[in-house]
Amino acid sequence: MTGNKFDNKVENISVINLTKLWKKFEGFTFKSKALYLFLILFTFISFDLKSNYDKNYNLFKIKRSKDINEIFYDVKLDSKSKLDNQNPINIYWLNYLEDGRKENLTWIQNNYSYGLEFQCISDNYADFKFVSFDKRLFKLKKNKDELYQVCTSINSKESILNFIFIQMDGGTFMIPKISRVELHVQDANTNEYFTEIIIP
């Protein structure tokens, strides 16, 4: 089986280029050769990991009691690893009831249920509200590890959003009866996990 793109890069640099590099260091001691090659490999791997680090990734998701399908919210970056200034969060379904396929939100879902309204967007920061619940402000920003996360304030404490659970008890397709919404979060300072329950 063929390895992934990163594995192939490492294989190529080790098989093709390292022998040539080793010969170029003729006259150096073995320790000096080994040190130079280590530094070159470390720089290469660090650069490759950085490029993977900047790819779009999941921020949080929504689960519902209605079924096992889930809505995912991924950070969307441009070619310079800055937030996409038109749409910094990409939203989609994973339809587990069928074959786990990825599906976009419908117009109704995006505008009345699970879509987002952005208040401001900059290169590394954005804040938004859900179209269906405008009483809570959420912030998209980087943490100390330079990874984006979504935060909100709960009892005056900054909390990192992990996922949302929506309890649905009847109603209609257009107007479902929602008995509670759970925000599963982590305290940004203490790393303690807790849940805020919102009764609509």
Q: 95-111 pLDDT, tens per residue?
A: 999 989 999 999 999 99
Q: Which residue has the higher pLDDT, 19 or 153?
A: 153
Helix 5-12, helix 30-53: angle, nearest 10? 160
- Of 197, 178, 195, which Cα lies nearest the Cα of 187? 195
- Same domain membership, residue 104 and residue 144: yes
Distance from the first to the final alpha carbon of the chain: 52
- Same domain membership, residue 63 and residue 26: no
Instruction: Give me the number of domains the chain comprises.
Output: 2
Q: What is the pLDDT of residue 11?
A: 42
Q: What is the pLDDT of residue 127?
A: 97
- Is residue 46's pLDDT more than 60? no
Q: Strand 157-171 and strand 148-154: pairing? A: antiparallel
- Same domain membership, residue 115 and residue 47: no
- Same domain membership, residue 101 and residue 31: no
Q: Which domain holds residue 189?
A: 58-198
- Is residue 53's pLDDT more than 70? no
Distances (CA, A) of 178 to 68, 107, 134, 156, 172: 16, 20, 16, 26, 11
- Same domain membership, residue 161 and residue 125: yes
- Same domain membership, residue 189 and residue 119: yes
The one-letter code for the residue type at 84 is D
- How does DSSP assign 16-79, residue by residue? IIHHHHHHHTTTS-HHHHHHHHHHHHHHHHHHHHHHHHTS--EEEEEEESS-S-EEEEEE-B-T
- Is residue 35's pLDDT more than 50? yes
Q: What is the pLDDT of residue 43?
A: 47
- Is residue 15's pLDDT more than 80? no
- Is residue 67's pLDDT more than 50? yes
* Cβ neighbours for 72, distance < 8 A, ≥ 6 positions apart: 58, 61, 91, 92, 93, 94
pLDDT confidence tier of residue 55, bands split at 50, 70 and 90: confident
- Same domain membership, residue 69 and residue 45: no
- Same domain membership, residue 101 and residue 184: yes
Locate tokens 């040539």: which residue? 20
Q: Which residue has the higher pLDDT, 18 or 26?
A: 26
